[in-house]
């Protein structure tokens, strides 16, 4: 169980204007501003859940991940993860978690991947039998056989990310923190990594905290969304709940035969021809079945398609409406 209660974190940042004079002045009289990275953050995540932790740049996502992984200490508040306080019990705690940062590597650049794995085995004090079984499983699931003897520096981005994820799972962690795990990957690599994450979550019951700007990752993996905005938690729930909270419009595309004489009230016409009409409705004023019933009483409906905003649009609407 991951539990955060009233967590706050501020940064004191030095600022100055451009120019040589300002640089000299700053040596003797430096000005600072306070950045409120996290403000009163509270949530809990049960074991075995996949959670999407999302928000715009600077919202506080990485700060939260660093606190939960023991890299940073909060200014106030509590963080208890499976009985550990991350920054106080780092040695014991880090054996229980795996962390993957999409833009940082835990593999040694100039040595073969297998050498990095062997070093991680010693660092995490993994039992040789457990290590061998875990390595064999990960090599098979991620198709790493041809990569183990290759130096990290010559791997493609997709190949390296597969090896990074394998490295973070060698010691069978209870919790996996993934920060942009599919950044810059091609479609095939993204699908492979998503399928693998689902598999280890299902089979090992690994709790997964996923931070990403790729909403397709969220749709494919996350059962729950935590949306950050300017250091505060502005939404906690499913994508479906998010949609109903911020979006009340649907687009209906109807192809028909006959003469359409009247359009129901509460409907905005986007496009209309002799055989097709596209309308927008406000679901707080009317319903899709009511609209379709009104149209079917006038014409013979041949085809219908109903569309809602994409996940990216829902997140943008939520941030616009609720971010402080």
112 with 228, same domain? yes
Place of tokens 């600077």: 58
Mean pLDDT, residues 52-71 taken together: 89
From 243, 262, 297, the end of a domain falls on: 243
- The burial class, CB within 10 Å (0-12 / 13-18 / 19+), for 41 is buried
Classify residue 228: in a domain, yes or no. yes
296 with 205, same domain? no
Give the number of domains in the chain.
2
Q: Among residues of the chain, what percentage have pLDDT more than 90?
A: 31
Q: Where residue 321 falls among pLDDT bands split at 50, 70, 90?
A: low
Q: Where residue 324 falls among pLDDT bands split at 50, 70, 90?
A: very low
62 with 159, same domain? yes
Looking at every residue in the chain, the average pLDDT score rounds to: 85
Instruction: Measure CA of the first residue to CA of the last residue in the chain; give whole Å.
Output: 29
The pTM assigned to this predicted structure is 0.77
Mean pLDDT, residues 34-52 taken together: 92
Classify residue 320: in a domain, yes or no. no
| Among the listed residues 128, 199, 129, 189, the one whose alpha carbon sits nearest the alpha carbon of residue 164 | 189
Cβ-defined contacts of 292-299 (< 8 Å, 24+)? 292/252, 292/254, 294/264, 295/254, 295/256, 295/260, 295/264, 298/258, 298/259, 298/260, 298/261, 298/262, 299/256, 299/257, 299/258, 299/259, 299/260
Q: Where residue 251 falls among pLDDT bands split at 50, 70, 90?
A: confident
Classify residue 98: in a domain, yes or no. yes
How does strand 276-282 pair with strand 249-257? antiparallel
| pLDDT, tens only, 76-129 | 999 999 999 999 988 889 889 998 876 678 889 899 999 999 999 999 899 999
Classify residue 206: in a domain, yes or no. yes
Residue 301 CA, distance from chain mean position: 40
Residue 219 predicted with pLDDT over 80: yes
138 with 41, same domain? yes
| Among the listed residues 141, 143, 164, the one whose alpha carbon sits nearest the alpha carbon of residue 152 | 164
CA 97 vs CA 50, 170, 208: distances in Å: 14, 11, 10
Mean pLDDT, residues 214-223 taken together: 86
Classify residue 321: in a domain, yes or no. no
Q: What angle do CA 219, 135, 206 make, to 5 degrees?
A: 35
Rounded to the nearest 5°, which phi and psi values hold at 131?
A: -60, -45
pLDDT at 245: 66
224 with 82, same domain? yes
229 with 301, same domain? no
150 with 226, same domain? yes
Beta bridge partners of 278: 253, 271
Question: What is the extent of the structural domain holding 278?
Answer: 248-307
The pair of three-digit structure tokens given for residue 168, joined into one six-digit string: 């973070």
């Amino acid at each position: 169980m991951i539990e955060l209660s009233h967590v706050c974190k501020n940064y004191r940042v030095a600022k100055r204007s451009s120019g040589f004079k300002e640089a000299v002045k700053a040596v003797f009289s430096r000005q600072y501003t306070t950045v409120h990275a996290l403000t009163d953050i509270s949530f809990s995540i049960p074991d075995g859940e996949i959670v999407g932790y999302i928000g715009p740049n600077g919202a506080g996502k990485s700060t939260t991940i660093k606190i939960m992984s023991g890299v940073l200490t909060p200014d106030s508040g509590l963080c208890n993860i499976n009985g550990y306080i991350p920054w106080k019990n780092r040695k014991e705690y880090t054996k229980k978690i795996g962390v993957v940062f999409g833009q940082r590597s835990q593999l040694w650049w100039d040595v073969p991947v297998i050498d990095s794995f062997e070093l991680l085995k010693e660092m995490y004090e993994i039992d040789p039998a457990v290590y061998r079984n875990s390595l064999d499983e990960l090599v098979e699931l991620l198709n790493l056989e041809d990569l183990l003897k290759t130096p990290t520096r010559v791997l493609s981005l997709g190949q390296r990310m597969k090896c990074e994820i394998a490295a973070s799972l060698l010691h069978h962690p209870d919790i996996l923190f993934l920060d942009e795990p599919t950044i810059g990957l091609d479609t095939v690599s993204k699908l492979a990594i998503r399928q693998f994450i689902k598999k280890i979550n299902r089979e090992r019951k690994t709790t997964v905290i996923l931070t990403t700007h790729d909403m397709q990752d969220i749709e494919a993996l996350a059962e729950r969304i935590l949306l950050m905005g300017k250091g505060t938690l502005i939404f906690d729930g499913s994508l479906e709940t998010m949609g109903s909270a911020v979006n009340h419009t649907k687009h209906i595309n109807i192809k028909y035969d006959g003469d359409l004489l009247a359009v129901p009230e509460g409907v905005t016409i986007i496009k209309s021809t002799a055989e097709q009409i596209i309308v927008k409705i406000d679901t707080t004023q009317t319903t899709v079945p009511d609209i379709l019933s009104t149209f079917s009483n006038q014409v013979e409906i041949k085809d219908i398609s109903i569309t809602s905003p994409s996940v990216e649009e829902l997140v943008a609407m939520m941030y616009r409406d609720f971010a402080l």
